Amino acid sequence: MNKYDSQLHQQLIDWDKQYVWHPFTAMLDYNRCEPLIIEQGEGSYLIDMEGNRYLDGISSLWVNVHGHCRPELNAALIEQINQIAHSTLLGLANVPSIKLAKKLVEITPPGLHKVFYSDAGATAVEIALKIAFQYWQQKDAGQYRQKTKFISLVEAYHGDTIGSVSVGGMDLYHQIFRPLLFNGFYAPTPYCYRCPCGQSQDNCARECLQHLEKVMEEHHQEIAAMIIEPLVQGAAGMIVAPSGYLRRVRELCDKYQILIIADEVAVGFGRTGRLFACEHEQVAPDLMCVAKGITGGYLPLAATLTTDEVYNAFLGEPWENKTFFHGHTYTGNPLGCAVALANLNLIEKNDLIGSLQPKVALLEEGLTKFHELVHVGDIRQKGLMVGLELVQDRETRQPYSPQERIGHRVILEARRRGLILRPLGDVLVLMPILSMSLDELEQVLSITYASIKQVTEGRPGSGE
């Protein structure tokens, strides 16, 4: 425990407001409040400057796997930093990036044999899009050159760079940038609670798939790839796809000669209860993007994996210009790769995936109680990903007005009770650290329950 220095604390609060522009944060509102400054982490807990402990209910934005300050991961970093911190991957190799690439190929779905590194989920997506595009330009002497566009789902989120925003579909984040984006095709999201095709829960997937097939049938000659978040559309509000949907998308892509890009940035590395979400439906994508959990929450690192078929289209003499001209300065950073490798080894050594089943069951069981809360409209769960959609009126599914900031108010209440959450609008997200104990998971549930109850029912004059 660090010694508390109230003067330093106040100084940092002032400097945070003065100098730091926080991502996805309404700064006017943020600066009205006292920022919470995290100083330490320990297992499932975040610790602020005053020594208050909070359960990390969102895995530090969906990245942490084995807990904070994990000795095995710390040791891997120290060992690597005593070798070298960085050396370029442009025309040179380094030890951890080779070992990690081999490991990733071994553990990901069959057929993915090549690894291209970058630093964030958005860049992993950007790279997948560019590879898919260039692949069709170069395949079979350019006879597919008109395949230049992408299909994505309405409500998709694939990161914040211009390319990944172009295949995104969340108006709230993306609308303002429309003039900067390239055009593509959209298919409806199978969001069964609010089916975009106006269907009942049971018919939603079928109807949405029919729309998708129609787009493919009409436009497949112009379509390079379809990009999809397998099983759960995370940022859109933990929208869980109906079972069999992903499998069917893969079949349609095969039928219409469209590559499929699986964006496993959020769902990868155990989050859905399997190592990768594609495994639930035995889907092998043509390209796969991984980031977030890859380093166990330690360092920025991402990878785009692809097949020999795609990779081979880039092989040629240097002067033929078939090369993939893309790279980031820190691509394949040895520290990131070393800690990622240690993370994957620890997942295996501790049989992390096997250990998840009782936790998934505990969450499922515990979440049934949330039906008692009249403002919880929909409860969505896949593995250790949970979305609780809060509504003004459960009968009509009428959302709260944005001015209510209902999700935000609930997470502030949870914070007072010792749990860190971050909502997506009116959807409360629970993304517990995969290594959390059953006791800690129960606490996450009970604090969340009490916080929703307090905020949605406890308002003076609400009559409830």
Ligand X SMILES: *Cc1c(COP(=O)(O)O)cnc(C)c1O
Binding stretches for ligand X (CB under 6 A): 120-122, 125, 157-159, 229, 234-235, 263, 265-266, 291-292
Element (H, E) at 32: none
Task: Extract the runs of DSSP E, i.e. beta strands, from 146-300.
Answer: 149-153, 185-187, 223-228, 232-233, 239-240, 259-263, 287-290
Q: Which is nearer to ligand X, 120 or 436 (CB)?
A: 120
Picking from 95, 357, 58, 358, the residue whose alpha carbon sits closest to that of residue 234 is 58
Picking from 363, 384, 348, the residue whose alpha carbon sits closest to that of residue 273 is 384
Q: Which is nearer to ligand X, 414 or 424 (CB)?
A: 424
Q: Which is nearer to ligand X, 120 or 204 (CB)?
A: 120
- Asked if 283 and 230 count as a contact pair (C-beta separation under 8 A), the reply is yes
CB of 334 to ligand X, least distance (A): 19
Picking from 380, 421, 441, 34, the residue whose alpha carbon sits closest to that of residue 241 is 380
Residues 373, 131: Cα–Cα separation, whole Å: 47
CB of 291 to ligand X, least distance (A): 5
CB of 105 to ligand X, least distance (A): 21
DSSP lists the bridge partners of residue 187 as 153
Task: Extract the runs of DSSP E, i.e. beta strands, from 249-348.
Answer: 259-263, 287-290, 302-307
Amino acid at the residue 11: Q
Q: Which is nearer to ligand X, 47 or 58 (CB)?
A: 58
What are the angstrom distances between the C-alpha of 79 and each of 89, 210, 252, 337, 347? 20, 53, 47, 12, 19
Q: Which is nearer to ligand X, 242 or 300 (CB)?
A: 300
Q: For residues 62, 68, 73 and 74, what is the CA-based torsion angle, rounded to 10 degrees?
A: 140
Q: Which is nearer to ligand X, 152 or 443 (CB)?
A: 152
Q: Which is nearer to ligand X, 100 or 120 (CB)?
A: 120
Residues 326, 318: Cα–Cα separation, whole Å: 15
Task: Extract the runs of DSSP E, i.e. beta strands, from 243-332.
Answer: 259-263, 287-290, 302-307
Structure tokens at 454: 């307090």
- Asked if 451 and 405 count as a contact pair (C-beta separation under 8 A), the reply is no
CB of 265 to ligand X, least distance (A): 4
Which residue in the shown chain puts its C-beta closest to ligand X?
Answer: 121
CB of 59 to ligand X, least distance (A): 12
Q: Which is nearer to ligand X, 126 or 286 (CB)?
A: 126
Q: Which is nearer to ligand X, 300 or 366 (CB)?
A: 300
CB of 122 to ligand X, least distance (A): 3
- Asked if 157 and 168 count as a contact pair (C-beta separation under 8 A), the reply is yes
Q: Which is nearer to ligand X, 234 or 432 (CB)?
A: 234
CB of 331 to ligand X, least distance (A): 15
DSSP lists the bridge partners of residue 227 as 261
Q: Which is nearer to ligand X, 228 or 406 (CB)?
A: 228
CB of 252 to ligand X, least distance (A): 21
CB atoms within 10 A of CB 329: 10
CB of 65 to ligand X, least distance (A): 15
Amino acid at the residue 327: G
Burial class (CB in 10 A: 0-12, 13-18, 19+), 368: exposed
Supply the Cα-derived Rg of the chain in whole angstroms. Answer: 23
CB of 358 to ligand X, least distance (A): 26
DSSP lists the bridge partners of residue 223 as 149
DSSP lists the bridge partners of residue 381 as 386
CB of 61 to ligand X, least distance (A): 8
CB of 433 to ligand X, least distance (A): 17
Q: Which is nearer to ligand X, 58 or 411 (CB)?
A: 58
Picking from 288, 348, 236, the residue whose alpha carbon sits closest to that of residue 115 is 288
Burial class (CB in 10 A: 0-12, 13-18, 19+), 198: exposed
